C-alpha cells in the first residue's frame, strides 16, 4: 500500500505538471510562429533561446506542454526585440529551444 507521502508527491506532481507557468504578454499576441516558406519576405532580427524546467518533482513534463511554453517564451522575447515572427532552428531538448526572431510584413 502507498504511504501518504508517496500519494502526496504523485498528486502534487500531476497537478503541477498540468499547470501553465508561462503566459503570453499582450505585446506578444501578434507574434506568430512561421514556416520556412514564410521567411523569404521576412527580415532576420535576432536569435533567442527559450529555457524552462522540463521535469517537475523528477517527472518529465508533457512534451506538448513544454513545446507550447517554449514557443510562448520565444514569442514574448520576439515582442521585446521588436519582431513579429519566430522560427524554431532547433528541437526542444531538456527544456531548451532556439528560435530566430523576424520582422515580417
Print pLDDT tens along the chain (105 aa). 555 554 444 444 444 444 557 899 999 999 999 999 999 999 999 999 999 976 555 567 788 999 999 999 999 999 999 999 999 999 999 899 999 999 999
d(CA 86, CA 34): 6
**What pLDDT is attached to residue 16?**
44
**What pLDDT is attached to residue 53?**
77
**What pLDDT is attached to residue 9?**
44
Closest to 89 in 3D by CA, of 47, 53, 54: 47
Give Cβ neighbours of residue 33 (< 8 Å, ≥ 6 apart): 71, 75, 85, 86, 87, 88
SS3 label, residue 47: strand
d(CA 49, CA 100): 9
**What pLDDT is attached to residue 17?**
44
User: Judging by DSSP bridges, how do beta strands 96-103 and 55-56 pair with one another?
Assistant: unpaired
Q: 11 in the Ramachandran plot: left (φ > 0), alpha (ψ -120 to 50) or beta?
A: alpha
CATH of domain 4-103: 3.30.110
Q: Where are the domains of the chain?
A: 4-103
pTM for this model (two decimals): 0.77
Amino acid at each position: 500500500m502507498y504511504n501518504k507521502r508517496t500519494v502526496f508527491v504523485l498528486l502534487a506532481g500531476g497537478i503541477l505538471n498540468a499547470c501553465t507557468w508561462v503566459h503570453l504578454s499582450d505585446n506578444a499576441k501578434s507574434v506568430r510562429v512561421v514556416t520556412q516558406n514564410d521567411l523569404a519576405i521576412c527580415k532576420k532580427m535576432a536569435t533567442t533561446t527559450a529555457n524552462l524546467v522540463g521535469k517537475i518533482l523528477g517527472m518529465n513534463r508533457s512534451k506538448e506542454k513544454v513545446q507550447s511554453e517554449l514557443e510562448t517564451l520565444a514569442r514574448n522575447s520576439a515582442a521585446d526585440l521588436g519582431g513579429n515572427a519566430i522560427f524554431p532552428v532547433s528541437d526542444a531538448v531538456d527544456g531548451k529551444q532556439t528560435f530566430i526572431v523576424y520582422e515580417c510584413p
